[in-house]
Amino acid sequence: MSIPAEDIKALREKTGAGILDCRKALEEADGDIEKAIIVLREKGMADAEKRSERETSNGILELYSHIGGRVGVMVEVNCETDFVARTPEFQELAHEIALQVAAMSPRWVTEQGVPEETLKTEEDIARKRALDEGKPENVIDRIVEGRVNKFLDETCLLRQEYIRDESKTIDELIKETIVAIGENISVRRFVRWEVGEGIE
């Protein structure tokens, strides 16, 4: 089912939940905004979004070595208090995020980190492909939007499907942990290295 952008925006304004969460909730609720609000509340997404304004100045650096030392990851995951940073739930989340980075090679934490010129290049490539494929003029903008969204889903950590459960994104995994522990959590940054990377 295709969800109109204005409905996603309206739900986002009412709940403060993320765009992807709103779209999924509306799909689950067959486009009914009031039912979608209930879906979001049940999943705790709306509550997690409210906590997202809280400062996260504590946390941990999670280090992970993968494939016998051929891939290394360091990720900084932040929370509000040192107490929560020491809990097994928080440390497990940080480890899962490091695994995700190792396995899926994201380039940015969120779509806000994607340079404008990169987005423009992806839009141009998608538009040229659609034209080369002979797509009708009236659907090209939607095709471009869909292909750019797919690019963002693949390259932005929080938009990626969680490798252990493809029914949720990393953003949703984090929000579930926020609801469980009652503190805001954010991924500040990550670095991924691979043996031989960049050698010509």
> 39-67: per-residue pLDDT in tens?
877 776 656 666 666 677 799 999 999 87
pLDDT bracket for residue 98 (50, 70, 90): very high
Return the CATH fold of 115-154: GTP Cyclohydrolase I; Chain A, domain 1 (1.10.286)
Return the CATH fold of 58-110+156-194: Tetrahydropterin Synthase; Chain A (3.30.479)
Residues of each domain in the chain carrying CATH 1.10.8.10: 5-51
Question: Whole-angstrom Cα distance, residue 192 to residue 98?
Answer: 9
pLDDT tens-place string over residues 166-197: 999 999 999 989 888 888 999 999 999 999 88
pLDDT tens-place string over residues 107-116: 999 999 999 9
Average pLDDT, the chain: 89
Question: Above 70 in pLDDT, residue 149?
Answer: yes
Q: Which helix (H) or strand (E) holds 145?
A: helix 137-155
Angle at 112 between CA 127 and CA 122, to 5 degrees: 15
Query: For position 19, what pLDDT does the model report?
Result: 79
Query: pTM for the complete prediction?
Result: 0.72
pLDDT bracket for residue 16 (50, 70, 90): low
Return the CATH fold of 5-51: Helicase, Ruva Protein; domain 3 (1.10.8)
